[in-house]
Structure 1
Amino acid sequence: MTKEIQRFGKAESFYDTYERKGEGSFTTHYCPGCGHGTIQKMIAEAIDALGIQDRTVFLSPVGCAVFAYYYYDTGNIQCSHGRAPAVATGVKRTVKDAIVISYQGDGDLAGIGMTEIMHAANRGEPITVFFINNAIYGMTGGQMAPTTPLGQKTLTTPFGRDEKRDGNPLGMAEVMNALKAPIYIERCAVSSPKQIIKTKKAIRKALQAQVDGLGFSFVEILSPCPTNWRMTPVDSRAWIDQQMVEQFPLGTFRNIDKEGEHTPTSEEIQPLDDHALIEFLTSDSNIPILREDPLQQTQRIKISGFGGQGVLSAGELLATCGMMEHLEVSWLPSYGPEMRGGSANVSVTLSKDEIGSPLIDHPNVLIVMNGPSLDMFEPLVCPGGLVVVNSSIVDRKVERTDVQAIYIPATEIARDAGLQSAANVVLATTYLSLSGVIPLQTLKACIPLVLRKREYLEKNLKIVEKTLDYLENTN
């Protein structure tokens, strides 16, 4: 449901006063003639018209628009340089009803954040991106940007941008149009009343597409920067029409309503069920036994050791078990450049609820495969947590008395079973056996999905049984 807004006056989606300039202030921080104020006013009016103020999250960039959170009476997040599409992805996937706006400049989006915008667009994240192209780095003094036209003089190109030295300017609307997933792409301008009217319609359409759940929308807006262009506000708008439009033609590049395209939503894509997945990956018809009891406590697991010990594989194994049990799962590795011998750890979260962040600062489960890992992470374990220690390598005991410590000669058990490199399987089995969070039948079914070398399959399964025998005989 949309609503009409007043023709004159401030949009409801703006604060009444702009405290950035002092208490009770009504002026923004933008330079005279800057296009940001005009564009942001149109965005606020579209938010009002669509009735989405209470669920809009506005992502501010590093750049001239960095203080937008002083102006918009909506949800606001100030993002690291270029990272707004990544933040937008996290917000949208976590709060699916949110209307997420990524507002970015040319240096922010096409320079620092090229990776983030490309992959968000390629995934078809259902967000709205407003790309402000003023062909220059505005906030930092007027350096050449990825969109600076050939011949344009800037702080870093005092004799003009040179094709051989600096390359050609990037046409981001064209780049977006090369991807399959975006559903709406348009380039417009704020150089004249006529173009402002067209831009207003594009902004409204891009937000409406998100309200309708259609997919990724991208609106590029050619905007003046009189201060860094060394022009008057009037001349800067003429320069857009005379110079920038030649380099960046205006128009609609993609419009699903007009072209009849359709991007399937996640609800329409039917994933393989558990049986089909296992049949596909392993040609094995054994289906893991699903949990009968709900997970009582979120498992925040940290596994650490040397590179080459199978630390990341152990984490992947536990994460796969969690997915097979229909739990919410995250898996976040951390390792140095060394293939072998360097430090490595992985954070795994298993939860019945959605996971807000994959980072684990204070695990309630710690699995350590070497001494340095115990030294580093023991102080961080939550009181009452579980610490599983590979006593074949770690030569000291856990010093804390407010955690449960289990010692198991994982490397020896794996070596005796004929596969010394599988100490990680011993430790994973120990944790699951003691905690009961995942049925051991599920662990056995997931081993061929993660530890994919067929010649070792029987040995890995044998190690599970050897570990259970050891635990039974030592308790």
Structure 2
Amino acid sequence: AIFVSPVGCSVFAYYYFDVGNVQVAHGRAPACATALKRSCPDKIVISYQGDGDLAAIGTAEIVHAANRGEKITVFFVNNAIYGMTGGQMAPTTLVGQKSTTSPWGRRPGNEGFPLHMCELISTLEAPVYVERVALCDNKNIMRARRAVRKALEIQRDGGGFSFVEILSPCPTIWGKDPIEARRWVYENMVPIFPINVFRERKLEVPAGTAPPQRTVSDVLELAPKYEIKLNAHSKHAHHFKKFEIKVAGFGGQGVLLLGQLLTEMGMQEGLEVSWLPSYGPEMRSGSAHCHVCLSTERIGSPLVSHPHVLVAMNEISLRKFAPQVEAGGLILYNRDSLPPDFPQPQARVICIPAAEMADKLGSTKATNIVLLGALLEETECLSPETAISLIETKLKRVELLEINRQALAAGRHFIDDQVRVGAVTQPDGFAY
């Protein structure tokens, strides 16, 4: 079973029920429960919501979940007040009832009438069980117990949407002792919200045509292309289980494109990958960075908090993200030296004047490709052949393709000539 607890009276439900639990934002429990039930159809999914949560901020979510006939069980606790947040008027507050936000009592001409959620839900076609009960005496408490059981049994047996509204005392805001509170429920709430079974039936839903089971690659017609490339470059031996990279700079420097290239290269080499961009409202000259994860295992989160490698394309990014690089990691900095006042980092730093190198090749737009070449040569995380193959598919203009080939080679040569001196061992003139 999975219990969905939104903000409000059920926020601490995980203390009391030894089941799976998901905390959700105010009013969003039916939406979350929908996702859980569709993802785990064999689980019993329960949404437990108060009147403010369900009937105010969550009105759209509950109505649409009910209208779709989601196979979930919703318990709606109605105590006619916002009990957890200071005693404000709720959608179900009675006419004339005082609260912190209706000190003269609820006035229909100003705040409208109380919402009758059972009556509203029961007008929809899809719900199979809708009942209102009250916790006002032993007889009605036992009736509430039976309603709770029935709603859960309906879901257990594969039924549709079930909804149980429970008229309940508020132990704090009402300012009444338990006996007075129970009496108030019976004398004041029950006449307005009558106890009743509003819907109990078995819904016959017309069988629809199931959507075809196709992969994303099939739908996008990418399977043949990626299959060929995977076979060609997947023999590269990866020395890591998970390799995390952060690329940062100004918008317009190719920051996000560099991250995308690394991600697509990882895919073509058979790795699990993720790419998470982050940028401001400015298209150019604003700050931008991206998180790249390459892994031989499933990736739990695309967020990179402590990267193995930081590619800093400007000084602002260097100062902002260098402290996050893990000890012993690598920083590639797009300058020929660090700023004079820059503190000694805990990671290795390679200063490479990538922008100047790209400019000499004929296009400063290739700065990110120079850095890509340096990154591949220094870390050996991905195959340079994969990079060349990918660039060839991205660029159609011959002159740009040649510049990017040269830029990739320039970054690799810089590492071999300036960092890994004497390490050239390959027939192509590179160390890797």
Query: C-alpha distance in 1, partners of 2:25/2:314?
Result: 36
Distance in 2 of aligned mates of 1:422 and 1:176? 60
1:341, CA displacement in angstroms? 3.6
In the TM superposition, 1:358-369 aligns within 5 A as 358-369=302-313
Q: Note closer, same or farther for the CA distance 1:114–1:232 as it changes in structure 2 (3 Å cut).
A: closer
**One-letter amino acid of the structure 1 residue matched with residue 413 of structure 2:** N
**Percent identity between the aligned chains?**
41
Q: Deviations over 1:303-329 (max 9, x none)?
A: 222344343343344334444545333
* 1:177-326 pair list within 5 angstroms: 187-191=130-134, 192=140, 193-194=142-143, 196-206=145-155, 219=163, 221-227=165-171, 228=173, 232-236=181-185, 242-244=191-193, 250-251=198-199, 258-261=204-207, 269-273=213-217, 277-278=221-222, 287-288=229-230, 289-292=232-235, 293=237, 296-326=240-270
| Residue 64 (str. 1) matches residue 9 (str. 2) | yes
Superposition deviation, residue 367 in structure 1: 1.5
Would you say the 8 A contact 1:414–1:426 is kept in 2? yes
Q: 1:333 to 1:252 in 2, by over 3 A?
A: farther
Q: Per-residue deviation at 1:297?
A: 2.5
2:288 is equivalent to residue 344 of structure 1:
yes
1:466 aligns with 2:410: no
Contact 1:278 1:287 in 2 (8 A): no
Corresponding letter in the other structure for 1:204: E
Q: Which amino acid aligns with 1:190?
A: V
CA contact (8 A) 1:224 1:237 kept: no
Read off the aligned partner of 1:467 and give its amino acid letter.
A
Highest Rg: 1 or 2? 2
Tell me by how many angstroms 1:375 deviates.
1.5
CA displacement 1:121-158 (0-9 Å, x = unmatched) = 99999987655454532112321345657776543134
In structure 2, which of residues 328, 346, 350 is the aligned counterpart of residue 384 of structure 1? 328
Alignment of 1:367-406 (within 5 A): 367-391=311-335, 395=339, 400=344, 403-406=347-350
Structure 1: unaligned runs, 5 residues or longer? 1-55
Residue 370 of structure 1, CA deviation? 1.2
Cα shift at 1:470: 0.5
Say if 1:343 and 1:401 are closer, same or farther in 2 by CA, change over 3 A: closer
Instruction: Give the letter aligned to residue 138 of structure 1.
Output: G
Task: Give the structure 1 partner of residue 419 of structure 2.
Answer: none
Deviation at 1:298, TM superposition (A): 0.6
Letter in 2 for 1:243: I
The 8 Å contact of residues 392 and 409 in structure 1, kept in 2 or not, is answered as yes
User: CA 1:408–1:137 in 2, change beyond 3 Å: closer, same or farther?
Assistant: same
Q: Secondary structure at the match of 1:251?
A: strand
For the residue of structure 1 that corresponds to 2:192, the secondary structure is helix
Helix, strand or coil at the partner of 2:245: strand
Q: Distance in 2 between matches of 1:276 and 1:173?
A: 44
| Closer, same or farther: CA 150–361 of 1 in aligned 2, 3 Å | farther
CA root-mean-square deviation: 5.3
Could you say if the C-alpha distance between residues 168 and 375 of structure 1 is closer, same or farther in structure 2, counting changes exceeding 3 Å?
A: farther
> How many pairs align?
401
Alignment correspondent of 2:422? none
Aligned-pair CA distance for 1:258: 3.1
Is 2:116–2:193's contact at 8 Å kept on the other side of the alignment?
Answer: no
**CA deviation map 1:364-410 (0-9, x unaligned):** 12111111221122222112322222227975698657534333333
Give the whole-Å Cα distance in 1 for the aligned partners of 2:77 and 2:144.
Answer: 14
Q: Corresponding residue for 1:355?
A: 299
Change (3 A) 1:331 1:425: same
The 1:178–1:448 alpha-carbon spacing in structure 2 relative to 1, beyond 3 Å, is farther
- Per-residue deviation at 1:362? 1.4
| Cα distance change of structure 1 residues 86 and 401 upon mapping to structure 2, 3 Å threshold | farther
Residues 373, 269 of structure 1: CA spacing in aligned structure 2 closer, same or farther, 3 A cutoff? same
Q: For structure 1, which segment, 225-234 or 327-336, has the greater mean C-alpha deviation from structure 2 after superposition?
A: 225-234
In structure 2, give the amino acid aligned to 1:345. Answer: H
Q: Distance in 2 between matches of 1:435 and 1:441?
A: 15
CA distance in 2: counterparts of 1:340 and 1:78, whole angstroms: 38
Give the match for residue 49 of structure 2.
104
Tell me what 1:30 maps to: none
CA contact 1:324–1:442 (8 Å) conserved in 2: yes
Preserved contact between residue 77 and residue 168 of structure 2 (Cα < 8 Å): no
The answer for the alignment partner of 2:81 in structure 1 is 136
d(CA) in 1 for partners of 2:354, 2:115? 55
Distance 2:131 2:118 in 1: 10
Comparing 357-366 and 435-444, the one that deviates more:
435-444
What's 1:29 paired with?
A: none
- Contact 2:77–2:167 (8 Å) recurs in 1: yes
Closer, same or farther: CA 319–284 of 1 in aligned 2, 3 Å: closer
The 1:285–1:65 alpha-carbon spacing in structure 2 relative to 1, beyond 3 Å, is: closer
